[in-house]
Amino acid sequence: MSFIVFIFGIIIGSFLNVCIYRIPKGLSILAPGSFCPLCKHPLSWKDNIPILSFLFLRGRCRYCGDRISYQYPLVELATGFIFFLFYLKFGLTLSFFIYIAVSSLLFVSIFIDLRYMVLPDSLIIPAIALSCVNGFLFGFPNNFISAVIFSTIFYLLRIAFKDGLGLGDIELIVIISLMLGFYNTLFVIIISSLAGSIYGLYLIKKGKAQMRTRIPFGPFLISSFILTSLINIPSFYLLH
């Protein structure tokens, strides 16, 4: 069953790649079928086999020879492993399906936020709805109290630092709190802040950013959320 879940994750990862490309451009994620981003030639089924097509085509479009981004197989593999690890943690339970759905929506948001510095409502709103279901079923009322506390803190930080945090980041912390509760959300904030700071210092050292350069915080929050969801943090669980 674990292998089936992994393959299912890879297939979903292929669809997530479609969402990453099309949602920011306002294109339908259902039609038309897959096509090359450069030459726009429709892709056949043999060009759309997750991971394998990339290997067989040696990373290039069959029709125009343009290089295919490594993002495609990496997203597929990463999604497969995320689904596999959630299955090991939850089994085929309702929690499993909620977590893979929320993680998939937010995983797409990582790539869009990195490139366009926006978290689309079409991804965030369904994630909020699913996290509310999780909060009601598995963390009521504590997770909702946590969401109010952290969203208020983030909103005050947004005001204090003159839009240093976006509204999307506030929505993200609501989702994370409803999914994980207070202590694990606190852990997410700590590790995402550290990771974001290290990344910012790296960019400054390389001359690719300055102290006032805006860096999207969403990808760090989301990555930390997925990591914390998958790994039990004993020191924080002891505080429950």
Helix (H) / strand (E) element for 21: namely: helix 2-22
Q: What are phi and psi of 42, to 5 degrees?
A: -60, 145
**What is the pLDDT tens value at each position of the chain, 240 positions in all?**
999 999 999 999 999 999 999 999 999 998 888 888 888 889 888 888 999 999 998 889 988 988 989 999 999 999 999 999 999 999 999 999 999 999 999 999 999 999 999 999 999 999 999 999 999 999 999 999 999 999 999 999 988 877 678 889 999 999 999 999 999 999 999 999 999 989 888 888 877 777 677 789 999 999 999 999 998 654 444 444
Do residues 4 and 11 touch, judged by C-beta distance below 8 A?
A: no
10 Å CB burial of residue 103 (0-12, 13-18, 19+) is buried
Distance CA 123, CA 129 (A): 10
**For the chain, what is the radius of gyration of the CA atoms?**
19
Q: Looking at beta carbons, which pairs linking 45-49 to residues 24 or more positions away fall under 8 Å?
A: 48/14
pLDDT of residue 40: 85
pLDDT of residue 36: 86
Q: What is the pTM of this model?
A: 0.92
The partner residues of 35 in beta bridges, in order of sequence, read: 42
Distance CA 229, CA 79 (A): 14
10 Å CB burial of residue 7 (0-12, 13-18, 19+) is middle
Cα–Cα separations (whole angstroms), residue 59 to 35, 47, 55, 70: 15, 11, 6, 8
pLDDT of residue 203: 84
